[in-house]
């Protein structure tokens, strides 16, 4: 576990963000009597400037 990692309960949908990791070798977060699963971070590429200008022009019309 590292600072910023996020875990989600598959049953109820609760999401937990790690602020201060404990440093233990083995550590599980349990919710609804089930271990929570780590949420993978997704990276989204920023839109190109030409795409942004086109979107703004369409909104004005």
pLDDT in tens, the chain (61 residues): 889 999 999 999 999 999 998 888 888 899 999 999 999 876 666 666 666 565 655 666 5
Q: What is the pLDDT of residue 26?
A: 81
* Rounded Cα–Cα distance for residues 42 and 31 (Å): 23
pTM, two decimal places: 0.61
pLDDT value, residue 27: 83
Cα–Cα distance, 11 to 15 (Å, whole number): 11
| Spatial CB neighbours of 34, under 8 Å, sequence gap ≥ 6 | 9, 10, 11
Instruction: Yes or no: say if 50 and 21 are a contact pair by the CB < 8 Å rule.
Output: no
Q: Quick one: pLDDT at residue 40?
A: 87
For 1-40, CATH number out of 1.10.8, 2.20.28, 1.10.287, 1.10.510 equals 2.20.28
């Amino acid at each position: 576990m590292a600072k910023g990692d996020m875990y989600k309960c598959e049953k109820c949908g609760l999401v937990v963000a790690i602020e201060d990791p404990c440093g233990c070798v083995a550590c599980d977060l349990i919710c609804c009597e089930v271990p929570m699963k780590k949420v993978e971070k997704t990276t989204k590429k920023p839109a190109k400037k030409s795409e942004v200008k086109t979107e703004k022009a369409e909104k004005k019309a």
